[in-house]
Chains A and B, each alone.
Chain A
Amino acid sequence: MRVQSSATKRVEVRAPMSGIFYRQPGPDQSPYVEVGDRVEKKQVLALLETMKVFQKIKSPVSGKILEIVQANEAPVKDDDVLFVIDAQA
C-alpha cells in the first residue's frame, strides 16, 4: 500500500460568535454534512442562529469531515470548535 501522497492537515471550523448550532436547514430535513463526507470550500456545513438571525457556516477549505464537535441545537460560544476537517491539498 502506498502512503497517501497528498498533503493533509486538520482544519478547525470555529463559531464566529455565540449562537445556536443547527446541523440541518430545517427540523424535518437531513443534516448538511456527516462525518466522512467530502466537502468543497465554501460549502454550507451548518447554520448558526444568534438573536434570531441565521448565518451560514461555510467550509474554509475543501476536504473531508473528520469530526462534528457540536450536537444539533447546541448553544455554542464565540470561537467554539464546530467541525474538524481534513484539508486535502
Chain B
Amino acid sequence: MFSKMLIANRGEIAVRVIRACKDLGINTVAVYSEADQNSLHVRLADERRCIGPAISSKSYLNVRSILDAAKASKAEAIHPGYGYLAENGEFARACAREGFVFIGPTPENLALAGDKINAKNIVENAGVPVIPSSRVGIVKLEEAIRFSEEIGYPVMIKASGGGGGRGIRICASEEILRGEFSVAKMEARAAFGNDEVYIEKCITEPRHVEFQVLADRRGKVIHLGERECTIQRRYQKLIEESPSSRLTPPLRQTMGEMAIAAARAVRYFNAGTVEFLVDPHDRFYFMEMNARIQVEHPVTELVTGVDLIKEQIRLSSGESLGYCYEDLKPRGWALECRINAEDPDKNFLPSPGIIKEYQPPGGFGVRVDTHLYQGYELPMYYDSLICKLISYDLTREGAIKIMKRALAEFTIKPIKTTIPLYLKIMDDPFFKQGIFSTHFIEKFLPEDEEEGEG
C-alpha cells in the first residue's frame, strides 16, 4: 500500500478521497489554487501545496505544476478525482513516466473511453447491444441525411470528442438536421478543438441506467449493480439512485453481464462505469464507458457496502478482487441529490458567495458529501456542485422520506441552492412511483427557460 497520496482535485471529491486515504492510513497531500486557500480539502489534508492561480487551466489542469507538487512532497500516487485531469491519458502517462501511480484506469483505457466511436465498435464486437449510429465521423451534410434516413428520425448529432452531454443536438426531421449540422460542427470545434461529429439514433422516453464495474490487474472484472440516472437537466444528472426501479431481476442480470463483457472487451482496469439507455420495451443499448470514479458513486456504496475510492486505491496498488456482486448481498435503496449553488427559479443561474449559515442534516440514513462549512466563501471560478446529499433505507419509499426530511433540515444561507427543487420532486407522484424519463425535469422548470448558455 502507498504511504503518501496527492489528490489532484478540489471540492467535495477531494474531501472524499482524503477521507478514504485516512481510513487506509495513507498520508495526504492537497493541492490548491490561490482561490482555494480556505477550502476544506486544504484543511483536512496532512500537507498542502499551492499549484497556481484561480483559473483552473493554470492550477487544477496544470500538469507540470501538479507533478512538481507530487515530487516535492514525495507522494507515491496521485488520485485525480473526477473532472479536471481524471480522464486525461497524457496526464496518466506523465504520472507513470515520472514515477507516480495514477489511481485510475490505464492511459489506453482513457484514450479509448474518449474515442466513443471506436469504443462502440469494440464493445459491439463483444456482443453488447449499441445504439445505431454512424460510427465514423461525418463531414458532409448529405452523408448525415443519408444515414439518418437509414436509421430513422429522431437522430442526434454528437461531437466525437465530446463528453458530459455537451455538443449534442436533437433533430426530429431532415429539415432540422439541415439547419443544425453546420452549427453542431462549429460548436464541436469551439468546445473540443475537433469538429468531427457523428449521427446517432435518438431513443425516445429512455431511462439512463449505468453499471459500476471494478477490474483488477489480472483481468478479473465484476459489476456492483446499477445506478438510475434518468433525472437530468441538459444532460447533467440531478438525482441518482441504486437500484433502479426500472430493472427487473432478469434484466439486471443480463445488463450486468453485458457491462462486464464491455469492460473486458476494452481490457479495462480499476473503477469505471458502463452507461446504458433502456427503452420502454426493455431493450437496452450501450452508450459509453466512463473511465473515472463518478459523482454518483455513493449510492452504489450504500447498497453494496463497498468503499469505491478505497477499492480504486487497493486495485492500483496491485491487489486483486476476491469477490463478486452476488457475494456482496446488496440490499436497501439509496438516493442522491446533487445540490448546486444555482437558483432554480432564475434559470439555474449560479450563486457564488459567502456561506453565512450552514447547518447540514443528519440522523439515520443520511450521508452528506460536501466541502462546505459555515463562513466558507464559494469561489466563482469552479463548478456549482456544493453537496451530494444521500439517503438510504431498506425501501425506495423509505429512502424518499428520509431524503425529504434531510432536504427540509438543510440550511445553506444566503446563497441560492437547488434544495427547493428537490423538495418538490420528492413530493411528485410520478417520482414516488418510479415513473419517469429523461424529460421528467421539464415540468419543474419555468416555461421561459432560455436555451443555450454561451
Specify which chain B residues have a CB less than 8 angstroms from the CB of A31 in the assembled complex: none
Q: Which of B55, B190, B380, B454 contacts A50 (CB 8 A)?
A: B380
Q: How far is the CB of A51 from chain B (nearest CB, A)?
A: 4
Provide the A1-44 mask, 1 if CB < 8 A to any CB of B, else 0: 00000000000000011111000011000000000000000000
Q: Is B453 a contact partner of A55 (Cβ separation < 8 A)?
A: yes
Of the listed stretches B23-31, B172-180, B282-290, B381-389, name the one at the interface; the rest are far from the partner chain.
B381-389
Residues of A within 8 A of B383 (CB): 51-52
Q: Does B349 touch A at the CB level, under 8 Å?
A: yes
**CB <8 Å contact, B349 and A55:** yes
Does B203 belong to the interface (CB within 8 Å)?
no
B384 touches A54 (CB 8 A): no
B residues within 8 A CB of A25? 190, 454
Report if B54 contacts A (CB, 8 A).
yes
Is B350 part of the contact surface with A, judged by Cβ < 8 Å?
yes
A85 at interface by CB-CB < 8 Å: no
Are A50 and B352 in contact, CB atoms less than 8 angstroms apart?
yes
Find B380's partner among A19, A54, A55, A73 (CB 8 Å cutoff): A19
A51 and B55 contact, Cβ closer than 8 Å, known pairs A17-B350, A18-B352, A26-B190: no
Contacts of A19 in B (CB 8 A): 380
CA distance A56 to B190 in the complex (A): 16
Interface string of B374-405 (1 = CB under 8 A from A): 00000011111000000000000000000000
Task: Give chain B interface residues in 342-384, CB to chain A under 8 Å.
Answer: 348-353, 380-384
Distance A51 CA – B386 CA, assembled complex (angstroms): 11
Q: How many residues of B contact A (CB 8 A)?
A: 17
Q: Which A residues between 51 and 71 are near B, CB-CB below 8 angstroms? A: 51-56
Assuming the A-B contacts A20-B55, A75-B54, are A54 and B454 also in contact, with contact meaning beta carbons closer than 8 angstroms in the complex? yes
A51 near B454 (CB under 8 angstroms)? no
Minimum C-beta distance from B449 to chain A (A): 13
How far, in angstroms, from A56 to B384 measured CA to CA in the complex? 18
Docked Cα-Cα span, A58 to B453, in Å, equals: 13
Measured CA separation A26–B382 after assembly (Å): 19
**SS of B interface (majority):** loop
Contact A20 B380 (CB under 8 A): yes
The interface residues of chain A lying within 8 Å CB-to-CB of B353 are: 18
Q: Smallest CB–CB gap between B174 and chain A, Å?
A: 29
Interface: A84 (CB within 8 A): no
Which one, A18, A47, A52, A73, contacts B384 given CB within 8 A? A52
Smallest CB gap from A50: residue in B:
B350
B55 touches A53 (CB 8 A): no
A29: nearest chain-B partner, CB-CB:
B190
Chain B contacts for A52, CB-based, 8 A: 350, 382-384
Closest-CB distance, A60 to chain B (whole angstroms): 17
Inter-chain contact B453/A51, CB cutoff 8 Å: no
- How far is the CB of B25 from the nearest CB of chain A, in Å? 35
Closest to A16 in B: B349
Q: Which residues of B contact A17 (CB under 8 A)?
A: 349-352, 380
Nearest chain B CB to A19 CB, angstrom units: 6
Task: Using known A-B contacts A17-B352, A20-B55, A75-B54, determine if residue A51 contacts B380 with beta carbons closer than 8 Å.
Answer: yes
Closest Cβ of chain B: how far from A55's Cβ, in Å? 7
User: Once the chains bind, are B381 and A20 in contact (CB under 8 Å)?
Assistant: yes
Q: Which residues of A contact B382 (CB under 8 A)?
A: 51-52
A66 vs B13: C-alpha distance when bound (angstroms) = 45
Task: Pick 6 A–B contacts, CB within 8 A, sort by A.
Answer: A50-B349, A50-B352, A51-B352, A52-B383, A52-B384, A54-B453
Chain A residues at the B interface, C-beta cutoff of 8 Å: 16-20, 25-26, 47, 50-56, 73, 75
The 3 closest A-B pairs by CB, nearest first: A51-B350, A51-B384, A50-B350
19 additional A-B pairs beyond A17-B350, A17-B351, A25-B454, beta carbons within 8 Å, are: A18-B352, A18-B353, A19-B380, A20-B381, A25-B190, A47-B454, A50-B350, A50-B352, A51-B341, A51-B350, A51-B383, A51-B384, A52-B350, A53-B384, A54-B453, A54-B454, A55-B349, A55-B453, A75-B380
